[in-house]
Structure formats: C-alpha cells, structure tokens
Amino acid sequence: MQPKYSTKLDPKELIGAVKYIEEGVSSGRVAKGVAKGLLYSLTETLGVMLGDIDLPNHIQVGYQGVLEEIAEVEQQFSRME
C-alpha cells in the first residue's frame, strides 16, 4: 500500500509554508511567538536534512533558499518588536 502523501519536501512548498506563517502574523491570526517557534522548528529540520551527504545538490540549494527566506521573515518579526 502506497502512502497518500508525498515523502519528498519540495522547497517551493516549504517557502509557501513560511509565507503562510508570515501572513498569519501580519493579519493577527497567528501569534508572533507561535510563528517564531514554527520557524525555529523548520530551521532545525532543514539543518538536519542539509547535513545529509546523500542529498542531491539541486535539493540542497532549494533548502538553503528556504533557510534564507526564514531568516528574512525572522528579521521582519524582530523589527516588529
């Protein structure tokens, strides 16, 4: 039986998730502290994945782009304080 979901993480989908979190904070639907926790967790997960020596280069570049996007959003949150 095959899983009903993809086991591959598309960097574009991850950036979409980061944007969703950012928009949630901007609209007041998501507390900034919760958003920071989610972004921290995502950063840690991507850090582990980037450490995998078997990760194809094109995927690694995509994940690094996600980390850059997260850093930009975190800077934006810091300016909100």
Asked if residue 62 is part of any domain, the answer here is yes
43, 17 contact by CB (below 8 A): no
Domain assignment of residue 58, given as a range: 31-80
Question: What is residue 35's predicted lDDT score, i.e. its pLDDT?
Answer: 96
Q: Tell me if 25 is assigned to some domain.
A: no
Classify residue 51: in a domain, yes or no.
yes
73 within a domain of the structure (yes/no): yes
- Report yes or no: 70 and 42 within 8 Å, Cβ to Cβ: yes
> Domain for residue 76, yes or no?
yes
Q: Give the Cα separation of 38 and 34 in Å (integer).
A: 6
In total, how many domains does the chain have? 1
**49 is a domain residue:** yes
Distance CA(39)–CA(36), nearest Å, equals 5
Q: Is 14 left (phi over 0), alpha (psi -120 to 50) or beta?
A: alpha
pLDDT of residue 2: 59
pLDDT in single tens digits along all 81 residues of the chain: 555 555 567 889 999 999 999 999 999 999 999 999 999 999 998 988 888 888 888 888 999 999 999 999 999 999 987
In a domain, 63, yes or no: yes
Q: How far apart are CA 46 and CA 56, in angstroms?
A: 14
Q: Does any domain span residue 38?
A: yes
